[in-house]
Amino acid sequence: MQHDIPELENFIDEQAINNTLKHAAKPERANVLEILSKARNAKGLTLEETATLLQITDPELDEELFAAARDVKKAIYGNRLVLFAPMYITNECGNSCLYCGFNVTNKDLTRRTLSSKEIRKDVIALEAQGHKRLLLVYGEHPKLKADWIAETVQTVYDTVSEKSGEIRRANVNCAPLSVDGFRKLQEVGIGTYQCFQETYHQKTYSSVHKGGVKKNFLWRLYALHRAMEAGIEDVGMGALFGLYDYKFEMLALLTHAQELEKNFGVGPHTISFPRLEPALNADMAYNPPCPINDMTFKRIVAILRLAVPYTGLILSTRESAGLRRELLDIGVSQISAGSRTYPGAYSDPEYDRPEVQQFCISDNRSLDEVIHNIVDAGYIPSWCTACYRLGRTGEHFMDLAKRGFIQQYCLPNSLLTFQEYLEDYATESTRKVGKACISNEVENCPEDRRTVVESRLKRIEQGERDLYL
């Protein structure tokens, strides 16, 4: 049964969004500066303010925008950066999304759904690299039901390797389920449930989703409502940039966030903003209808950071290492690393070939290289999962985050997880820069936390694992 919520209404009012953009066109410099000054208080932006910032054309104001985003990012997140890897469980798909390599009409792609044994093999390979947080990704096929998805999540959690530890948070990016289906995912303890609307513009949505369940715009639009109704507190939204006008998509994303906040008292835990990348036999992915250049992409990230200061912003390896570095400073708080987008590719070289991946990956560095580079750039990698495991999720998490909790808990926890990484998985050179980073950063922990952090870092050196505050 698809419709748990009767009488679904499209809460994305296209006319209202277009009017908001029209009224905010050609913004005055003074108006932009006033909005940026207010945004520095980390209270978020209204749709009107967002529409104004989206229409800056003066390069000097762009620099002001980036500076404000940098300040808000620093004030809320400090220099921590959460790391994860996507793990593709199946590329079987009954939908026909014109931009995706998993499109049902793509006859050149070898379809693969991992068995429990194959899931375990891939998880062990990821654990051996040092990953603790995964994003499990699934095509949408009628034969792949919620029970089966829940079983695959359980298999991931159950795969504990004595040598390399365990996965502590499995987030899921799968097709929208019914409330009952989502309840099954909630029961196996998924972290965030992620679903991207791709485009909020209904006509464009219809023109790029040619077949399968995904054609139903409203079924997808209410996916996060159903997930929350089922008790999943952390949900992630996103738009696939390149399909339609990015300014419209930005206001629609924020409208969606407000709608969740209105109904459930909390907005999205994360927002993703994938940009269309070339994909096997998907012509549209090679020629995006509304291409986004790097400068516009930077503006998108900076404006999101100001609009929803406490929402995690996720960046994938679709983007190049150089651009990823710039985006960290202005807003991104979570990145994937060492990613593969074909089921089984982490453990079986047969499936680790660029031509079989879902889309092209631009950043091909290994997890260890990424860590070395981000430490050199002044960031602390984090694999912390404490909040989710202590029930600090959803509204509770947002409430705490807004009270400076991130510095109190997240910084110490990032150091503890980084210490584990350095002990168990790092190359010699990464260990060297990492240990120096930890010694410096302990000094930045709040004074009343420092002794406990130092003692726990020592305990990890002596062999204890999974310590957090």
Binding site for ligand SAM (CB under 6 A): 99-100, 102, 137-140, 173-175, 195-196, 198, 240, 274, 276-277, 279, 282, 285, 318, 358-359
* HSE (side-chain half, CA atoms, 13 Å) at 87: 31
CA–CA–CA angle 145, 147, 148 (5° rounding): 70
Residue whose CB is less far from ligand SF4, 249 or 420: 249
Residue whose CB is less far from ligand SF4, 37 or 110: 110
CA–CA–CA angle 226, 336, 417 (5° rounding): 100
Cβ contact 194:172 at 8 Å: yes
Cβ contact 309:69 at 8 Å: no
| Least distance from ligand SF4 to the Cβ atom of residue 175, Å | 6
Cβ contact 229:176 at 8 Å: no
Residue whose CB is less far from ligand SF4, 67 or 146: 146
* One-letter amino acid of 464: E
Backbone angles phi, psi at 175, to 5 degrees: -65, 155
Could you tell me the sign of the dihedral formed by the alpha carbons of 24, 75, 193, 421, in that order?
A: positive
Q: CA 63, CA 294: separation in Å to the nearest integer?
A: 14
Q: CA 205, CA 128: separation in Å to the nearest integer?
A: 40
Residue whose CB is less far from ligand SAM, 126 or 240: 240
What does 103 interact with, of ligand SF4, ligand SAM, none (CB < 5 to 8 A by kind)? ligand SF4
Cβ atoms within 10 A of the Cβ of 119, count?
A: 25
Q: CA 285, CA 242: separation in Å to the nearest integer?
A: 9
Residue whose CB is less far from ligand SF4, 95 or 272: 95
What does 195 interact with, of ligand SF4, ligand SAM, none (CB < 5 to 8 A by kind)? ligand SAM
- Measuring CA to CA, which residue among 274, 270, 250 is closest to residue 56? 250
Q: CA 269, CA 336: separation in Å to the nearest integer?
A: 17
| Least distance from ligand SF4 to the Cβ atom of residue 324, Å | 22
Q: CA 403, CA 10: separation in Å to the nearest integer?
A: 34
Q: CA 32, CA 27: separation in Å to the nearest integer?
A: 7
| Least distance from ligand SAM to the Cβ atom of residue 250, Å | 16
What does 173 interact with, of ligand SAM, ligand SF4, none (CB < 5 to 8 A by kind)? ligand SAM
What does 49 interact with, of ligand SF4, ligand SAM, none (CB < 5 to 8 A by kind)? none
Residue whose CB is less far from ligand SAM, 212 or 381: 212
361 Cβ contact list (under 8 Å, min separation 6): 277, 317, 318, 339, 340, 341, 354
Instruction: By CB under 6 A, name the one of 184, 214, 225, 256 that touches ligand SF4.
Output: 214
| Least distance from ligand SF4 to the Cβ atom of residue 102, Å | 4
Cβ contact 220:231 at 8 Å: no
| Least distance from ligand SAM to the Cβ atom of residue 99, Å | 5
| Least distance from ligand SF4 to the Cβ atom of residue 286, Å | 16
Q: What is the dihedral of CA 134, 140, 142, 144, to 10 degrees?
A: -10
What does 52 interact with, of ligand SAM, ligand SF4, none (CB < 5 to 8 A by kind)? none
Q: Residues in contact with ligand SF4, total (CB under 6 A)?
A: 9
Q: Which residues between 71 and 110 bind ligand SF4 (CB under 6 A)?
A: 93, 95, 97, 100, 102-103
Which own/partner contact pairs does 2-5 have at CB distance under 8 Å and 24+ positions apart? 2/178, 2/213, 2/216, 2/219, 3/219, 4/178, 4/179, 4/180, 4/226, 4/229, 5/222, 5/225, 5/226
What does 196 interact with, of ligand SAM, ligand SF4, none (CB < 5 to 8 A by kind)? ligand SAM
Could you tell me the sign of the dihedral formed by the alpha carbons of 144, 8, 268, 179, in that order?
A: negative
Residue whose CB is less far from ligand SAM, 100 or 453: 100
Residue whose CB is less far from ligand SF4, 138 or 418: 138
Residue whose CB is less far from ligand SF4, 214 or 256: 214
For ligand SF4, what does the binding mask look like between residues 288 and 307, x meaning CB under 6 A? Answer: --------------------
What does 279 interact with, of ligand SF4, ligand SAM, none (CB < 5 to 8 A by kind)? ligand SAM
Residue whose CB is less far from ligand SF4, 149 or 415: 149
Structure tokens at 31: 């108006």
| Least distance from ligand SAM to the Cβ atom of residue 285, Å | 4
Residue whose CB is less far from ligand SAM, 24 or 195: 195
- Measuring CA to CA, which residue among 76, 69, 78 is closest to residue 378? 78
| Least distance from ligand SF4 to the Cβ atom of residue 312, Å | 22
For ligand SF4, what does the binding mask look like between residues 121 and 150, x meaning CB under 6 A? Answer: ------------------xx----------
Structure tokens at 130: 């040092």
What does 277 interact with, of ligand SF4, ligand SAM, none (CB < 5 to 8 A by kind)? ligand SAM
What does 276 interact with, of ligand SAM, ligand SF4, none (CB < 5 to 8 A by kind)? ligand SAM
Q: Assess 217 for contact with ligand SF4 (CB under 6 A).
A: no
Point out which residues bind ligand SF4 (CB under 6 A). Answer: 93, 95, 97, 100, 102-103, 139-140, 214
